[in-house]
Structure 1
Amino acid sequence: MRIAVAGATGTAGAAVVAQARERGHQVVELTRAAGVDLVSGAGLDALLPGADAVVDLANTTTTSAAKSHAFFTAVTTGLLAAEARHGVGHHVALSIVGIDEVAAGYYAGKHAQESAIASGPVPWSLLRATQFHEFAEQSLGFAKAGRVSMVPFGHLQPVAVSEVATALVDLVEAGPSGRVQDLRGPRRELLVEMAKKVAARRGTGQRVIGVPMPGGYGHAMRSGVLCGNNKARTGTITFEEWLG
């Protein structure tokens, strides 16, 4: 199959590209280096002809609901319109477990993305997954003062990117499936403890302090809704295995 990947250089995108190629698929990376601007849609018409599916892993780093909504709406609608023009028969996207409980901030954009996909012109598949193991390392940079990192209190059930990539490539091969079973990691973890383990592994002397995060996202983390429920499919790679 010919698979186009948006966000091909990101954490999940790189894993999907690698796995798709290992399975013998032809991969087209929709990146700036390839002349693509996902927000404006520039360059898509040159690369999508002949594609069987698009895997949308485009992402933005923002806590602003307005910016997140604008980004995901522009990227998703632009991709879907280009796919429809060129007869691409399958749009595959990755979203986040628990966002129904959080309508603010970054998650507002993910809600908009899911809505655009479900009402769009292209048959689709949507996988929601919990946070990646890599989120623990990212959290060390959220709020820093010298060698002190302030990390939000909260519960996660992190999953390995490799397992998410496997699920996404499986979906491409299976064809349009709608919203499929959520995917979460094998164990519930405390983000602060995860961050401490990453800092210790780095050996840089970074001190991690847990802090309460305000707002809807902070409440969701503390309540455990971002961990998923027993209806979710459970991965096998633990945080400790990933860290090792």
Structure 2
Amino acid sequence: MKIVVVGGTGLIGSQVVTDLQEAGHEAVVAAPSTGVDTLTGAGVDEALAGADVVVDVSNSPSFADDDVLHFFTTSTGTLLDAEERAGVGHHIILSIVGTDRSDAGYMRAKVAQEKLVRASGRGWSVLRATQFMEFAKQIADTSEVDGVVRIPPVAFQPVASADVARRLAEIAVAAPQDGISEIAGPERVRFDAFVREALAARGDTREVVADPSARYFGALLADGALVPEGDSAIGRVSFEQFVGSAA
């Protein structure tokens, strides 16, 4: 199969490409650095020629509300139009667990993206993932106030990026789900506890405080907002394994 991975140079996309290639498929990397711009349309038709599947794991360079909404709606529209011309039968996007349970601007943009894909009339699959274990430092950096990292003490079920990539590769070579599935890590911990232990494993001595008023993507969180409500695929890498490998 020829599978185009949009955002194929990033954390998830590069692993999806490797997984697909190791399974014997033709995985095409589509990103600005390879001459494919889904905002302007440059290089998109050429990249999608002869493709069976598109896996979109691209992300907005800006998380400002208007910017991220523009990115996901414009980029997705560009891809869906090009897929119709090319006869691509399966469009896959990576989304976020709880995206429809938050009023954060980024989450609203992902909901808009999901709606476009569902309404496309083509085969589609949406994989919603919990937050990646690898992003503990970035979360801490954006949550730091006067040297203290403030994290809401809500349920958190982080997943390793390798597990997300593996699941996307599995979906890519199967029939379209025409539905939404989810993946999460094998353990639930408290959000602040995860950040605290992940930082400590790296020798980062910043204080991490449980703060119910702390925001995530600009929104206040209810407990359970970031974890699956029903069945989900479960990743292989545990929180303990991740923290241990980071030490």
Please report the TM-score for the alignment, with normalisation by the length of structure 2: 0.89
Range 201-210 or range 91-100, more displaced:
201-210
What is the Cα deviation at residue 19 of structure 1? 0.8
- Once residues 61 and 138 of structure 2 are traced to their aligned partners in structure 1, the CA distance between those partners, rounded to angstroms, is 11
Q: Distance in 1 between matches of 2:15 and 2:145?
A: 32
Structure 1 segments of 4 or more deviating over 4 A? 145-148, 214-218
Corresponding residue for residue 68 of structure 2: 68
Question: Measured at CA, do residues 148 and 214 of structure 1 come closer, stay the same or move farther in structure 2, by a change above 3 Å?
Answer: closer
Q: Name the structure 2 match of 1:140.
A: 140
Alpha-carbon deviation of 1:216?
Answer: 8.9
- The answer as to whether partners of 2:140 and 2:149 remain within 8 angstroms in 1 is yes
Cα 1:160/1:143, change in 2 over 3 Å = closer
Between stretches 134-143 and 24-33, larger displacement belongs to: 134-143
* Cα displacement (A) at 1:59: 0.8
- Identity of counterpart residues, as a percentage? 37
Q: TM-score, normalised by structure 1?
A: 0.90
Where do 1:4-43 residues align within 5 Å?
Answer: 4-43=4-43
Take 1:159 and 1:237, find their aligned partners in 2: how far apart are those partners? Answer: 7
Distance 1:33 1:76 in 2: 18
Deviation at 1:121, TM superposition (A): 4.2
Across the aligned residues of Structure 1 and Structure 2, the Cα RMSD in angstroms comes to 2.2
Q: What is the CA–CA distance in structure 1 between the aligned matches of 2:215 and 2:53, rounded to whole Å?
A: 39
| Residues 19-44 of structure 1: CA deviation (Å, up to 9, x unaligned) | 11111111111111211112122111
Could you say what secondary structure the match of 2:108 adopts? helix
The CA deviation at 1:217 is 6.2
Is the contact between residue 151 and residue 208 of structure 2 (CA under 8 Å) also seen in structure 1? yes
Matched, 1:213 2:214: yes
What is the number of equivalent residue pairs in this alignment?
243
| Offset from partner CA, 1:57-110 (integer Å, 9 cap, x none) | 011255533222111001100011111111111111111111221133100110
Match of 2:92 in 1: 92
Asked whether the equivalents of residues 136 and 198 of structure 1 are also in contact (C-alpha less than 8 Å), the reply is yes
Name stretches of at least 5 consecutive residues in structure 1 with no aligned partner. none
* 1:228 to partner: Cα distance: 0.8
Corresponding residue for residue 194 of structure 2 = 194
**1:173 shift after superposition:** 1.0
CA distance in 2, matches of 1:225, 1:50: 40
In structure 2, relative to structure 1, the CA distance for the partners of 1:232 and 1:2 (3 Å cut) is: same
Does the residue aligned with 1:3 lie in a helix, a strand or coil?
strand
Q: Distance in 2 between matches of 1:176 and 1:207?
A: 45
Letter in 1 for 2:208: V
State the match for 1:2 in structure 2. 2
**Pairwise CA distance, 1:236:** 3.1
Could you say which residue in structure 1 is the equivalent of 2:122?
122
Structure 1 residues 214, 193: closer, same or farther in 2, change over 3 A?
A: closer
How has the CA–CA distance of structure 1 residues 189 and 135 changed in structure 2, closer, same or farther, with 3 Å as cutoff? farther
Q: What is the identity, as a one-letter code, of the residue corresponding to 1:132?
A: F
Q: Which amino acid aligns with 2:83?
A: E
Q: 1:216 to 1:83 in 2, by over 3 A?
A: closer
Matched, 1:105 2:105: yes
* C-alpha distance in 1 between matches for 2:14 and 2:87: 25
Q: 1:145-186 CA deviation, whole Å, 9 max, x = no partner?
A: 686434444321111222211211111111211114322211
1:4, CA displacement in angstroms?
0.5
Aligned AA for 2:133?
H
Structure 2 residue matching 1:141: 3-state secondary structure:
helix
Paired with 1:55 and 1:43, the residues of 2 have a C-alpha distance of 16
